[in-house]
A and B are shown apart, each in its own frame.
Chain A
């Protein structure tokens, strides 16, 4: 028999909690505008112990003022928070754990704070729920990790709370949507309060409070690669990628990683690829941040359209002046969005990026033993898009090559890793067993932290050549194809010469000469820009690099 409850269940507890918080917070605000010097007491009024709190911390843009304020609040008032935040980048992000304001953490990427985070985890100050990819964590904002309170960063706000993010929109839409529509308190840190925002990126009625920060939010130029330090080996690998993959499959839609290897590819499009007659045939649509090294490829007519996850410092005027290429608001500045960029990249024809370690199954990892770094966006970009249904030349051609499949014809996304056989400090990139296994034990993770799984990988490019894993019939062949391009590393030295020769015959291993790449041409002379200054010249003076990259 059903038991009848004494009181009817209430279905609006979150809503009533929201109203109570707003009422408490209003004591420290004029309308929606929080009085800056009362920010800490304001936070103590609106945040409750045990809340899930999201501090916007992207690749680049950070709600740094609010993060620092949270780390100064009273531990009696606010404690045991559950932080759900994509990027742990600034010291206050970890201060809140060190002092007990927060206890539990779900995140994506730790970057420069990785070492300290590892220590705090070991001391029991941080309980890590899980390390996610970007799309995974955003998805959980709409599932079981919806924030009670979120801090976001924007360029400007008006008195009604309408927000203008400028070119660096990044994670903001995901955080805002999840928070505002589940009775969460949304607090925006802005660089300035204005009468009218240049464009409304977030409608004011979604925003609970606004704080004008004493200085503009912190932005890190993490996508700027100085062409001056690109090596001839990287030029050679770039030539092999262009001939052996882009030209071969006719790759028009793609996502580039942000290392020097992919910067080298971008910089020889106007020279090497142009001479091969590939303009209009490769690299037409990209999902990537506005990396300055893309400027020559855009200016010479290779890259026609780019959607960006975020912006890049110094590229504001350039992107604004190229509205045919970038996504631009009516106010004239770029609009970025990490979710949509990730999705666009996921359903494109190719991902190419670098990594630190690769094993014989082709699993790769950027994890190193002493620190927790996390994933970011590479696993989403660098995975087979199994739900894809539309065809394209590159996707269908790769699908036809795939050996380990059944009768049903399928397409295949090209997932490429580009690495030198030896990395920093001459440590071999190729290993029998990833450090990720040790890391799993040390930090008690459910699985070894793998960036791109071997069964997602299709091609491996080194200075030795290209391993095409699609053409391998067995796991043994796959391992030998990887050894075949692993050069003089211990893994490479253990190759079975006969088997590698057979793999070379069927194209599963290709060296420069098999690809029609003349190694003698692999010099820095091929780079369309050899310095940051050259990039400025290509941009017609529109690119304004941060001072640290200049030598003029």
Chain B
């Protein structure tokens, strides 16, 4: 039977892991059979998930050893609770010990699980520290974003502390979500119902164009796999020079785009002739455009 493509966006966390790793190579840690569930949710009368909404384990991708975590966006919007966070932290701490060729984080989350309040917030700090420890040990941490929840809140900060970010166009990366901004700043400032505006502001194409993510791929399991492979075994420097370069980049960006009211204004200033056409470009054409812009810059 005809299959158009294997969508990453539609797949569950487990199917994403299966789709990205070599066949039968995955070994899960603290799997659902272990029943390590949230201690907080039952007190609130809420259902639990046997894996607390995240799959962690080890496997190979094209024969290369990696550790992998995949958030299940279908359980509480991929939100990070105490157990969920501890599983990711543990995985990253293990990376510093066993030194795989990469840690892959498949993020699909709104951020902290508010029901678990402080425990969730503490978890976020622990993940962040563990990710930096893994990097310090020379293990590249690769983030992939392409699920319904995008990557928001504390986990967006974690993502930007990693080595590489890959996203499909459907993916979004931002600290505050569209509804939060609308609630706080008003609909005149940001209309969360205007989905095209949301994507022009937080969507992966915009993030790629302003240099916050490193690869944009089509919503296809194979495309994610190739993009991840491209970064396996390639740590980025984590030192004072790199940090200062990042700060300088951010200052330049603010100077260059501070008065832009819309993503389209930013793209026009980047030298894109037809900014209105950017959202409709498929991944290949878009990457062609990015390549041309980068070529023009050097």
Contact = CB atoms under 8 A, between A and B. Distances in A.
Do A and B interact? yes
A536 B3 CA distance: 18
B195 A271 contact: no
B2 A547 contact: no
A531 B9 CA distance: 10
A392 B43 CA distance: 65
Given A525-B4, A547-B197, A537 B282 contact: yes
B205 interface: yes
The residue among A521, A534, A550 with the most chain B CB atoms within 10 A of its own CB is: A550
B196 A550 contact: yes
Given A274-B2, A551-B170, A552-B170, A530 B195 contact: no
Given A536-B280, A552-B199, A552-B279, A530 B7 contact: yes
A275 interface: yes
A173 to B, nearest CB: 34
A351 B237 CA distance: 64
A549 interface: yes
Contacts of A551: 170, 195, 199
A275 B3 CA distance: 12
A228 to B, nearest CB: 8
Interface in A510-552: 521, 524-531, 533-534, 536-537, 541, 547-552
Contacts of B169: 533, 552
A549 B279 CA distance: 13
A272 interface: yes
B3 to A, nearest CB: 4
Contact of B4 (A528, A550, A552): A528
A534 B280 CA distance: 11
| 5 closest residue pairs by CB, A with B | A547-B196, A550-B195, A271-B2, A525-B3, A552-B169
A549 B193 CA distance: 9
Contacts of B7: 524, 530
Contact of A547 (B9, B10, B194, B282): B194
In this complex, the interface size class of chain B, counting residues with CB under 8 Å from chain A, is 20 to 34
15 contacts: A270-B2, A274-B2, A275-B1, A524-B7, A524-B10, A525-B6, A526-B2, A526-B3, A531-B9, A531-B170, A534-B4, A541-B280, A550-B279, A551-B170, A552-B199
Contacts of B196: 547, 550, 552
B203 interface: yes
Nearest to A270: B2
Interface residues of A, number: 26
Nearest to A296: B4
Given A530-B7, A552-B205, A521 B195 contact: no
Interface string B1-45: 111101101100000000000000000000000000000000000
A530 B1 CA distance: 16
Contacts of A275: 1-2
A527 B4 contact: yes
Interface in B268-285: 279-280, 282
Given A533-B169, A548-B193, 6 more contacts: A271-B2, A274-B2, A275-B1, A524-B10, A527-B4, A552-B203
B10 A550 contact: no
Contacts of A541: 280
Contacts of B193: 547-548
Contacts of B2: 270-271, 274-275, 526
A530 B4 contact: yes
A531 to B, nearest CB: 8
Interface string B199-239: 10001010000000000000100000000000000000000
The residue among B2, B193, B199 with the most chain A CB atoms within 10 A of its own CB is: B2
Contacts of B6: 525
A132 B10 CA distance: 42
B1 A548 contact: no
Contacts of B10: 228, 524, 530
Nearest to B278: A552
Nearest to B195: A550
A272 B279 contact: no
A549 B170 CA distance: 12
Contacts of A534: 4
A533 B7 CA distance: 13
Contacts of A270: 2
A552 B196 CA distance: 6
Interface string A451-486: 000000000000000000000000000000000000
Contacts of B219: 531
Contacts of A537: 282
A521 B1 contact: yes
Nearest to A529: B4
Contacts of A274: 2
A524 B15 CA distance: 14
A536 B277 CA distance: 13
Nearest to A525: B3
Nearest to B197: A547
Contacts of B194: 547-548
Contact of A271 (B1, B170, B199, B279): B1
B3 A548 contact: no
The residue among B10, B203, B282 with the most chain A CB atoms within 10 A of its own CB is: B10
Contacts of A552: 169-170, 196, 199, 203, 205, 279-280
Interface string B116-143: 0000000000000000000000000000
A527 B6 CA distance: 12
A537 B279 CA distance: 12
A536 B279 CA distance: 11
A547 B4 contact: no
Interface in B124-177: 169-170
The residue among A531, A537, A551 with the most chain B CB atoms within 10 A of its own CB is: A551
Interface in A286-342: none
A272 B4 CA distance: 12
A548 B196 CA distance: 7
Nearest to B169: A552
A549 B4 contact: no
Interface string A360-387: 0000000000000000000000000000
Contacts of B3: 525-526
Contacts of A228: 10
Given A548-B193, A550-B196, A552-B170, A272 B203 contact: no
A143 B84 CA distance: 69
A529 to B, nearest CB: 8
B1 A526 contact: yes
A525 B195 CA distance: 25
A550 B199 contact: yes
Given A530-B7, A530-B10, A549 B1 contact: no
Contacts of B170: 531, 533, 551-552
A541 B277 CA distance: 10
A272 B1 CA distance: 7
B111 to A, nearest CB: 19
Interface string A242-280: 000000000000000000000000000011101100000
